[in-house]
Structure 1
Amino acid sequence: MFGLPAGNELTFRGWLVTVIVCTIIAVGLGAGLGLKLVGQIKTTEQKQAVPMTGPAPKYGADTGLIDLPPVITNLANPASAWVRLQASIVYDKKAVPKPQLLAAKVAEDVLAYMKTVTLAQIGGASGLEHLREDLNERASIRSDGHIRELIIQSVVVQ
């Protein structure tokens, strides 16, 4: 065939079969990959079609936020250490007719509490967490449960 000797004819046929087999494999792999990519694109489009909603708000629309006046006092131990605490309260608007009055009462209670705290009690992350929990409990008691949370904005000890 094509003027080649008889021994080379088998080699040419073997080469031709190899090329055809490789072509068939390449077409099959290409088709499989194409189908997989189309499936992924459809899945991505379906995910994007679903409206993304953020996490539910922690507090409802019936809550208000009010800043407490800064509390500046000395600590119980060492007596030379001063602390400044700034906080806000999240309260129930429907249950609290005068939030400014409640904020003043809570600030007074925070002041009285901070005078009993030592520097060792509020040191570190766990101390700050305990302080937050104690102040939240006191604020809730002072407001008959109408304060949902007392948020500590800053604590400075000097």
Structure 2
Amino acid sequence: MADAQKKKGGGSIGALALATLVAVGTGGALGVYLLSSVEKAVDQKVRDEQAKPVAVLTYAGDLTLRSVGSVVTNLAEPPESWVRVESSVVFKAGTVQNPDATLAEIRADLLAYLRTLSMAQIEGASGLQHLREDLNERVALRTKGSVRELIVESLVVQ
């Protein structure tokens, strides 16, 4: 009787060993498959990166970006509305003799200009575009062309 129990236990060990071998084989095959698919995806991404056209930079070289800071004032129409503009200027390094004084002049000029605007003038995408163009023109006049662009970082009207 003891031999019968021994033989019965040996079969379960064999089944367990077989299940282990199947699991190891399946795991190994899945690992090889996933590895090859990841390599293919990486190769495809590298090929796509190389095929992309080189982006042309708008600003390159020795250009400097300086923050003008926040300008907060009320609008001309309606009088209870306020506008806050945060902006920066881009200029070639060394063209502006005293950048801090120039930024203060630009800030004062922006303040004076924004006080003359009404809400309708800066409403919508075209209003924002006109505002950017007007501010860039005023900055170019103020600095005699040494500032390349005024970048409007944020505009809040309330």
TM-score normalised to the size of structure 2?
A: 0.66
- Structure 1 gaps of 5+ residues are 1-43
Paired amino acid for 2:74: N
1:54–1:98 Cα change, 3 Å: farther
Give 1:63 deviation, angstroms.
Answer: 1.0
CA contact (8 A) 1:72 1:83 kept: yes
Which position in structure 1 is the counterpart of 2:103? 103
2:148 paired with 1:156: no
The DSSP-based 3-state class of the residue aligned with 2:88 is: strand
Q: After the TM superposition, which residues 124-135 of structure 1 pair with which residues of structure 2 at under 5 Å, given as runs?
A: 124-135=124-135
Which position in structure 2 is the counterpart of 1:137? 137
Which position in structure 1 is the counterpart of 2:115? 115
Larger radius of gyration: 1
1:52–1:126 Cα change, 3 Å: closer
Question: Per-residue CA shift, 1:21-80, capped at 9, x if unaligned?
Answer: xxxxxxxxxxxxxxxxxxxxxxx9xx88x7966223212322100011200000000010
Paired amino acid for 1:116: T
Q: How many residues align?
A: 113
Which position in structure 2 is the counterpart of 1:146? 146
Q: After the TM superposition, which residues 17-28 of structure 1 pair with which residues of structure 2 at under 5 Å, given as runs?
A: none
Q: Distance in 2 between matches of 1:79 and 1:129?
A: 23
Q: Distance in 2 between matches of 1:66 and 1:106?
A: 12
Paired amino acid for 2:156: V
Q: Distance in 2 between matches of 1:111 and 1:54?
A: 40
Q: Distance in 1 between matches of 2:57 and 2:102?
A: 24
Which position in structure 2 is the counterpart of 1:27? none
Paired amino acid for 2:80: S
Which position in structure 1 is the counterpart of 2:77? 77
Question: Per-residue CA shift, 1:91-139, capped at 9, x if unaligned?
Answer: 1212112212111111110000000000000000000000000000000
TM-score normalised to the size of structure 1?
A: 0.66
Q: CA RMSD in A?
A: 2.1
